[in-house]
Amino acid sequence: MKLDAKALRYMSSEEFRVLTAVEMGSKNHEVVPSQLIAQIAQLRHGGTHKRVGELAKKKLIARVQNMSYDGYRLTYGGYDYLALKTFAKRGTVYSVGNQIGVGKESDIYIVADEDDNQHVLKLQRLGRMSFRTIKSKRDYLQKRKSASWMYMSRLAAMKEYAFMKVLYENGFPVPEPVDQSRHCVVMGLIDAFPLRQIEEIGNPGKLYSELMSLIVKLAQHGLIHGDFNEFNILIKSDGSPVLIDFPQMVSTSHVNAEYYFNRDVECIRVFFRRRFGYESALYPRFTQDVNREFSLDVQVAASGFSKKMQKELEDYQEEIKDMSSEDEDEDEDDEDDDSDEDATEAETSAKDNIPELTEEEKMEQKMRNIRLGNTEPTSEEAELASEKDSDSEEEDSDQDEELDEEAEMARRSEKIEKLNNRDFKAFRDVKPTKKTTKKSTTASREEEVKNKVARTLKNQANRQNVKNTRGNNLKSKGKRKDKADCKGGGGFFD
């Protein structure tokens, strides 16, 4: 993710409070619930939901879809803003400039303080290249698994700042450490070029000896760089080297210390042989040339970067190496498949490019085989024989198909003759159906008329019954009224 610091100057203190709440909730939650964000932020007049929406628009936090609850997670952009806010409070960073470098898992920018002193800002981006592979494998962070990538980036920044500070204080050619917060490190700007960009050099033997003595000096102080190559070495205008990038540095008491030491030496030897054509028979060996005199690794542990953090970071680096080796194996398998395909294509092309024999050469080859007693047919004779066999098989199949067609035609002709030779009677076996249909239609009409007359008579009888019942009801009602009047004995005014 590219750093965009334009919105940083317009952000309010309440928005930073909500962003810090999301960071604190990420320690125990993969997706921080909205209610927990409001509880941690504790804004006086509320409005947490509004601030969360504004932060999501700026892509400092992200809402996770398909969750059982409403929640957000912190992005690298929001983590960058929190670190820059800390640097601004300390006076370390006042302005952010252009991007001057991109690493496999880091971004590098030019920054300046309030006095216009230029520095270098390095942002760790661990997990950018290896997210898919390690996400399912890593289980050593336990509760921190949700925020593992940012936690590992923070560990890498802490380690680099601790080693850089110790080396700078002991006179090693490294950048000046300025400040560190979260996953960001601020260091001094050096006017130099990476060794990988230099095509020619006046005295390669001098630079070679300086680099080898630097490796030995680090080991004598109890440290091994672990990634000592042309990408992590800067060359100044006067030809002196400067060492950068320390997240993979280990102690000489490490289990694989000899392996890392020899690997650093071999990287420099291979690079000088390929780039400058320089190869020396003299090179340091871990068992012979390393005599530990100082313990800078102990000073690093005392600075706050503990052994537990070192172990977590080393486990991460080992998984990165395993992933890269798996990718290389897959590439080798693909290359093997391609080589097999190329070999088969070459064989077919070689077969196609065999020159054809003339008639005289064919006869000579045949006579030679007869003299030697070789009765096996030649390739051409075998091809002719196979063609003849295929032609004979095709002819047999054609004959079988013709016989089947003739039998089918004979069967159909017999069937047609049987139908034509049928003896039909001169009279009709059944009486014509028209008359029967007329009779049936007349009978059905008579039945319909009878049913219709019966229905009408029935309806008339029903109507008469209804009239009679109504009349009886009225008569009985009048009688009941007369009886009531007689029982009452008249009205009030009688």
Query: What are the residue ranges spanned by the domains of the chain?
Result: 1-89, 192-322
CA dihedral (482, 487, 489, 490) positive or negative: negative
Q: What is the SS3 assignment for the chain? A: CCCCCHHHHHCCHHHHHHHHHHHHHCCCCCCEEHHHHHHHHCCCCCCHHHHHHHHHHCCCEEECCCCCCCEEEECHHHHHHHHHHHHHHHCCCCEEEEEEEECCCEEEEEEECCCCCEEEEEEECCCCCCHHHHHCCCCCCHHHHCCHHHHHHHHHHHHHHHHHHHHHHCCCCCCCEEEEECCEEEEECCCCEEHHHCCCCCCHHHHHHHHHHHHHHHHHCCEECCCCCCCCEEECCCCCEEECCCCCCEECCCCCHHHHHHHHHHHHHHHHHHHCCCCCCCCCCHHHHCCCCCCHHHHHHHCCCCHHHHHHHHHHHHHHHHHHHHHHHHHHHHHHHHHHHHHHHHHHHHHHCCCCCCHHHHHHHHHHHHHHCCCCCCHHHHHHHHHHHHHHHHHHHHHHHHHHHHHHHHHHHHHHHHHHCCCCCCCCCCCCHHHHHHHHHHHHHHHHHHHHHHHHHHHHHHHHHHHHHHHHHHHHHHHHHHHHHHHHCCCCCC
Please list the active-site residues.
227
Tell me how far apart the alpha carbons of residues 494 and 485 are, in angstroms, rounded to a whole number.
13
Local confidence pLDDT in tens for the 494 residues of the chain: 688 888 888 899 999 999 999 999 988 888 999 999 999 998 877 788 899 999 999 999 999 888 888 899 999 999 999 999 999 999 999 999 999 988 878 999 999 999 999 999 999 988 766 544 444 443 334 444 444 788 888 988 999 999 999 999 999 999 999 999 999 999 999 999 999 999 998 899 999 999 999 999 999 999 999 999 999 999 999 999 999 998 888 888 888 899 999 999 999 999 999 999 999 988 999 888 887 777 776 777 656 666 667 677 677 666 666 655 555 555 555 555 555 555 555 555 544 554 566 666 777 776 666 655 555 555 555 555 566 556 656 665 666 666 666 677 767 666 555 544 444 443 344 444 444 444 557 778 888 888 888 888 888 888 888 777 777 776 666 666 665 555 555 444 44
Whether 183 and 214 have beta carbons less than 8 Å apart is answered as no
Rounded Cα distance between 333 and 340, Å, is: 11
Separation CA 110–CA 101 (nearest Å): 10
pLDDT score at 21: 94
Considering the domain delimited by 192-322, tell me its CATH architecture. Answer: Orthogonal Bundle (1.10)
Same fold: 1-89 with 192-322:
no
Alpha-carbon gap, residue 329 to 373, rounded angstroms = 53
Distance of CA 315 to the CA centre of its chain: 23
> How many angstroms separate the CA atoms of 212 and 286, rounded?
12
At a CB cut-off of 8 Å and minimum separation 6, what does 120 contact? 100, 108, 109, 110, 111, 175, 186, 187, 188, 189
Residue type, 244: I
Q: Judge: domain 1-89, CATH 1.10.10.10.
A: yes
